[in-house]
Structure 1
Amino acid sequence: MAVYTQVSAEALGAFLARYDHGELLSAKGIAEGVQNSNYLVETTADRFILTLYEERTSTEDLPFFLDMLDHLASDGNPVPRALPDRDGVAIQQLAGRSACLIEFLTGVSVSHPTAAQAYAAGAAMGHMHTSLAGFAQTRANPLGADTWQPFLARCGRAIDSIEPGLFDRTEAALASVLAQWPRDLPIAAIHSDLFPDNVLMLGDRVTGVIDFYFACTDIRAYDLAVMHTSWAFDGNGENYNAAIGKALIDGYAGQFALSDAERGALPILARGACLRFLLTRAWDWLNTPADALVTRKDPLAYWRRLEAYLKDDLFA
């Protein structure tokens, strides 16, 4: 989540007039994340999230995201659905962007999860994967393994301004990971971005799984590997917490069984996830507009994670 597009109170009031969800009381931009513009909206009836879809999110992909959320919600997963207006329309236009008014879920994201919270979050992903086994729609991963080398080329040598020599080290790591990338594991709809800030919790209970705008069809176990890279390290990527890592896997496997092949592939999938987030963070670091209300994230935090996965089998 972030704010790239500013919305006036007058425009937002007119937008809300299409719904039966009260009148505007306040709206506050949400700085976290990098994908779309988001506001916390309070009306006389309730709280909502307003999302305006920026260039990185194609309007053509919105039906996939919204149908996936409806599918998950209908099977008891705590996900936020887009709300239709009086005419049954969920995807609107606001400030020159496609936009949705989305359910507000209670809970907070945790920055320092406990093992119990990690277990619950892993179980929530396992439950989602169980539900998504019956979801037939597909969407190619626009940030999948076959895009990483072209992505590095787009960043170019400018990436060395983040740290000298980063381009050459990343190029070598990519070549190694792609040579080992699994091609025969089960494919399914996945979240692909289930960081701690995309899971809402009350105590040790998951109350919401949010931000599905990187959802796609890809290797199912890759979803768990992404989660492992983001939950089991501190924010700087310097310290690995083995108890958190184990709890994630145990929680997931308690809901959705991992095959031996999937377990065996987790180390290389995690290395790939590290490179994916290193590259996208590097691109955002180099190209985020100076006036955007958005928190840039350190690309090197994912290089440090990659080094940890290269040094040890953190799934043993």
Structure 2
Amino acid sequence: MAMNAHKDNKLKAKAKMLTEKTYDCATNREELEQLLSEATNVIELNNGCCTLIVGDSGSGKTTLLKKFKTHFNEQYANAAPIESSEQACYIRSPSNMSPLDLYRAILKGFGEPGLIEGTEVQLRNRIAKQMQTKRYRVLLFDEFQQVVEKVGIKSVRQIADYLKELVDEFNVYLVFAGTSKVQNLLSINEQFASRNSLTIKKSLLSVSTIDNYRIYVSYLLTLNNSLNFTQIDFTDPTINLPLFAATKGDLRQLTQTLSKAILYAANRHRDEMLKSDLVSTYTPTLIKGRLQANPYTQKFIILKKKLGVNYEV
């Protein structure tokens, strides 16, 4: 019984680690190196700038941001004397966006407790003070398209002006992640746009071409090589294409799908995930009033046609 419990816990731990390992796959590692290089330039040259990370939901933006924060803090915040350490801060953009909401979100990211109140001037002063005392040099804004989508041009311009001031006054590195609408931030303020040193464009995984298919398969192989959660052959199209149909190239959905199947296997006291676990844990989605057919049990030739795979796999 104790051996089974140990085996179950080990497999469950792998399910939890899937998101952590995502950055090693696809293009995430190269993008992480780009962000770290830009941050190093900001620190060494003492010259602020900004970066955009643009992509659809599920393309790995949040994972990249959080992994960047971890690596930056390991390199700068934890490796230097406390009085000279530099820090990165993750900030979740609020759904109801206004300049005051943004300032509150920044202060919340800084760790300010309780209900954050105050006038615009007071909130800005508190942000400035915390940036100086805690030595924040990297601010990571997630879901930042909400700034552009939910307020008028005047408010967006006001926010862009303020962010430009942050870059210039504190020589910070600002990273904005969100949908393509984040790019509108640059068109609002030309001076702010001139401070944009890098734009990273992320996309969902795809099987539209043989090259895209190979990248997708490579992602699955890298993920499994890191965690060794199954002996399934991910190069087998009768495995990887149904999995793609179930997740549509969305990294978040893919992680959740694999995690769910791994937990299912662990709860049955097995030490690896099987294809049958993917079949058993598949949840059909409703499309135009009809439940989607289970891709794992669908005829392969029909599945290939549905996915538009007209090349040999």
TM range (shorter): under 0.3
Q: TM-score, normalised by structure 2?
A: 0.26
Q: TM-score, normalised by structure 1?
A: 0.26
- Ranked by relative contact order (alpha carbons within 8 Å, sequence separation 6 or more), the top structure is 2
Higher Cα Rg, which structure: 2
